[in-house]
Amino acid sequence: MATVNPLKRRGLLFVLSSPSGAGKSTIARMILESDDGIGLSVSATTRPIRPGEVDGVDYHFVSNEEFDQLVADGRFLEWANVFGHRYGTLKSEVVKQIENGRDVLLDIDWQGTQQLKQVDPDIVRVFILPPSMQELDRRLRTRNTDSDEVIERRMSRAAVEISHWAEYDYVFINDDAEHCRKLVHTVLKAERLKATRRIFLHDFVRTLIG
Ligand code: 5GP
């Protein structure tokens, strides 16, 4: 039998976008916990740290000056201004994992997704929609104690994010987190099997037909 390494394949960049409150973080967490082959890209941000968040785990929290320096040094694959704060994907976060043969999950907005598609046309883009705007409003209200004004601002931001849904390869409605997780995971598993990513096939077919 031919000696090929069936595991050898190109790691993929797996983008998950949604308006906040649509359940994206829960689904991302479920996938990261249940699949050893994918790791999270921890973004850098200028947004202040929230209670419960851990620097280096949820984000790399940096000052405006530090962010400027990272931009000047060409350290980002993409970066964007998202509702008043800057967020960016560090090359080091992605390269480190791809080199170890892992896929990378990126929780980034539509602006970052557009930029990343230019850098790597092979990315997989998944968008999560809320079942309704009423449900999104309910989720945003139960999640925190923000004022009506803050909630309204979040809802109009959600509408902007949702308006980019058609730029994605796969779009799911999250009316049940476990069902939605299964769909997203199915996409990940199928994308891994694409012939163009399984580069060992070139060597294998050469052993078949020379
Ligand atoms: P939050 O501040 O609630 O954690 O995130 C706000 C938004 O920023 C989310 O839609 C999230 O997907 C997006 N975001 C987080 N990290 C990045 C990043 O590195 N690049 C881009 N473009 N967006 C990001």
Residues 35-52: pLDDT tens digits? 999 999 999 999 999 999
| Atom 2 in ligand 1: residue holding the nearest Cα | 47
Least confident range from 34-48, 109-123, 130-144: namely: 130-144
Nearest alpha-carbon partner for 136 in 105, 157, 163 = 157
Other Cβ atoms less than 10 A from the Cβ of 99: the count is 9
Exposed/middle/buried for residue 11 (C-beta within 10 Å: 0-12, 13-18, 19+):
buried
Question: How confident is the model at residue 124, as a pLDDT?
Answer: 98
- Report the separation in Å between the CA atom of 191 and the middle of ligand 1, taken as the mean of its atom positions: 24
Residues 86-99: pLDDT tens digits? 999 999 999 988 88
Pocket lining: 164 vs ligand 1, CB cutoff 6 Å:
no
How would you list the strands of the sheet with 76-82, edge to edge?
Answer: 60-61, 44-45, 85-90, 76-82
Question: How confident is the model at residue 96, as a pLDDT?
Answer: 81
Q: Are 124 and 168 in contact (CB under 8 A)?
A: no
43 is in an annotated binding site: no
Residue type, 4: V
Go through 13-35 and write b for each residue having 16 or more CB atoms within 10 A of its CB, e for each that does not. bbbbbbbbbbbbeebbebbeeee
Nearest ligand 1 atom to the CA of 44 is 19
Q: What is the best residue among 25, 62, 109, 164 to mutate for testing ligand 1's pocket, by most ligand atoms within 8 Å of CB?
A: 109
Nearest ligand 1 atom to the CA of 107 is 12
| Atom 22 in ligand 1: residue holding the nearest Cα | 112
What domains sit in the chain, N to C, each tagged with a CATH number?
A: 13-41+101-209 (3.40.50.300)
